[in-house]
Amino acid sequence: MKRLLLVLFLLISIAAVLQAQQKPQYTQYVFNNFLLNPALSGIENYTDVKLGYRSQWTGLQGAPTTSYLTVSAPLGDDFLNGDASEMPAAGTADPASRSYLQNYEAAPNHHGIGFMVVSDKAGPVTATNIDATYAYHIGLTSELNLSLGVAAGVARTSLNTSLLTTTTPDDPAVDGANGGIWSPDLSVGVWAYASNYYLGASVQQVLPEKLYFDAKDAADQSKTVPQYFFTAGYKIYMSDDLTLMPSVMVKVINPVPITYDVNAKISFRDIFWIGGSYRHGDSYGVLAGFNVNSLINVGYSYDITTSALNTVSNGTHEIVLSILLNNRYKVTCPQREF
């Protein structure tokens, strides 16, 4: 039974890549929405570097693993030299306190740039995306910002044919698969944010690309499809030390059924946070994060599989390391990204 499930899983993984080219899924995106939306480029008053690793369905041979590097930085003297949510140097204002809400001011108009590399492997299929990002942040009111962003780069999909057994030697259907397929990659997004809420929308894989490894085969169903993400979150001040942040993400990928995530996290000042998540028809998750100091933050999550794979899966682990460079205000947690 376990081998049968593995074979079915590998076939489904290959079909997903060759027909829909779905992006990796994350639980820790609540710690790094920049992965889903380029409009978050430069949202913070420091250079935000994040390293992430996700091992999905551990215990199942050939299960997906995802690793990534993201870098986001602001540009603009008005923002860099005159703002960290309008707080004094050394981070004396706690972003989880009511006083922060009262003193919050929208960020000055500024630019943001970024870079990301994401590698996702599922069975014999490896998908890699390399993108540069840009965003412009506008102060709509004294307390509300709107940012527009774009990510552009390249995507590569390859198939490790040594893991496959075909009835025909040198099968043209996978000929040249080890060298991979290169294609352009484009994403766009919009993000509105204030002191206690955010709203976002983005679309990835804007440009449809053929995915057949055999260049002579040109079936229409082998193209990538756009993937739409809609996100929202709201910060509830439970006390001067505790805040509750419920959030939701809806993902739309035609012809796959619409999926959604529901999350909630509780933060204690700017020291640590814990939370939970539910992904419809897939998993429950527990999350935790610790802000070590003004240089390093760490986040971890564990997902419990609720689909049919729970009979062979030991769950999903994901860890994110965040490094806050050029952090002149010595803040120990995000001020605007929640």
pLDDT in tens, 39-51: 999 999 999 999 9
- Distance in angstroms (rounded) separating the CA atoms of residues 18 and 201: 26
Go through 238-261 and write b for each residue having 16 or more CB atoms within 10 A of its CB, e for each that does not.
eeeeebebebebebebeeeeeeeb
Mean pLDDT value of segment 13-22: 44
The reported pTM is 0.83
Specify the CATH superfamily of domain 2-325: monomeric porin ompg (2.40.160.40)
For 231-246, write each residue's pLDDT tens digit. Answer: 999 999 888 889 999 9
Q: In terms of residues, how long is the chain?
A: 338
How far apart (Å, rounded) are the C-alpha atoms in residues 34 and 294? 20
Question: What is the dihedral sign for C-alpha 64, 118, 297, 103?
Answer: negative
Confidence band (pLDDT; 50, 70, 90) for 105? confident
